[in-house]
Amino acid sequence: MTGPFYGIYGASGCGRGILPLAREMLAAAGVSADRLVFIDDKPPAEVLNGHRVLTYQAFLAIPAPERFAALAVADSGVREKLADKCQADDVQPWSVRASSVVIMDDVVLGDGALLSPTVTITSNIRIGRQFHANIGSIVEHDCVIGDFVTFAPGVICNGNVRIEDHAYIGAGAMLRQGRPGAPLTIGRGAVVGMGAVVTRDVLPGVTVAGNPARTLDKD
Ligand SMILES: CC(C)(COP(=O)(O)OP(=O)(O)OC[C@H]1O[C@@H](n2cnc3c(N)ncnc32)[C@H](O)[C@@H]1OP(=O)(O)O)[C@@H](O)C(=O)NCCC(=O)NCCS
């Protein structure tokens, strides 16, 4: 059989969480499940969760007119490197989303987004490339989210929040709403710890945690 081939890049927890959603999307499109594989640079097994695990080189070697890859790696720096590598090899970004995802109105979502079950994205929202939103996360109105941003499960990102590239928001964190023209800002590469309640801007590269969230003092 000819036709596109699909890969979930990363066979760890993130990839195995995304795989059933990808399988469901392909089944709905009438694509056979044997055209879906894991890609992993160090395959932990030959088969995982019923799908072959191939190295990237083996994935490229499969005869196919088109190839798509969903980048299921939580580390945003690694995700960016993989995105560059795939682009250079003409492997197209693949966006995988659960059927329970709700996307409301005027939402622009970049390539390669992975949206887990019950993620809700409301209205007038801009999101960059390779966004990960894990189970149950919410993005409220008028947010602007950069490239390679990661939401762990259960993040509540209220309205008028700006999140710069490569920020990571931990499980169950809540981000206070900003105001039109004065968004609450999470800086580039910042990390928000699980359970944090963020009430003020977070500077680039800083890790915050707690309620109210403060810079994590590791001394
Ligand atoms: C905030 C975070 C990034 C810090 O990780 P780290 O730099 O490795 O920090 P450590 O684990 O060394 O902890 C440093 C201190 O901060 C505390 N701490 C860590 N995370 C915290 C959090 N989320 N809230 C409050 N305190 C926290 C630790 O208890 C420790 O305190 P101590 O020095 O008094 O013992 C991490 O704990 C976190 O919350 N990551 C997100 C996890 C997540 O959401 N995973 C989802 C996977 S799908």
Task: Please report the atom of ligand 1 found closest to the CA of residue 170.
Answer: 44
Task: Please report the atom of ligand 1 found closest to the CA of residue 195.
Answer: 23
51 belongs to the catalytic site: no
Query: Which residue, by CA, sits nearest to atom 33 of ligand 1?
Result: 218
Per-residue pLDDT reduced to its tens digit, 111-144: 999 999 999 999 999 999 999 999 999 999 999 9
Among 75, 169, 186, 194, name the best residue to mutate to test ligand 1's pocket (greatest count of ligand atoms within 8 A of Cβ).
Answer: 194
pLDDT at 1: 54
pTM: 0.97
Q: Which CATH architecture has domain 97-207?
A: 3 Solenoid (2.160)
CATH 3.40.640.10 fits 5-94, yes or no: no
Q: How confident is the model at residue 210 (pLDDT cuts 50, 70, 90)?
A: very high
pLDDT at 69 over 70: yes
Q: 171 CA distance to ligand 1 centroid (A)?
A: 11
pLDDT at 155: 99
pLDDT at 129: 98
Mean pLDDT (whole number) for 1-18: 93
Give the chain as a 3 state SS string.
CCCCEEEEECCCHHHHHHHHHHHHHHHHCCCCHHHEEEECCCCCCCEECCEEEECHHHHHHCCCCCEEEEECCCCHHHHHHHHHHHHHCCEEECCEECCCCEECCCEEECCCCEECCCCEECCCEEECCCCEECCCCEECCCCEECCCCEECCCCEECCCEEECCCCEECCCCEECCCECCECEEECCCCEECCCCEECCCECCCCEEECCCCEECCCC
Q: How confident is the model at residue 2 (pLDDT cuts 50, 70, 90)?
A: confident
Task: Please report the atom of ligand 1 found closest to the CA of residue 209.
Answer: 24
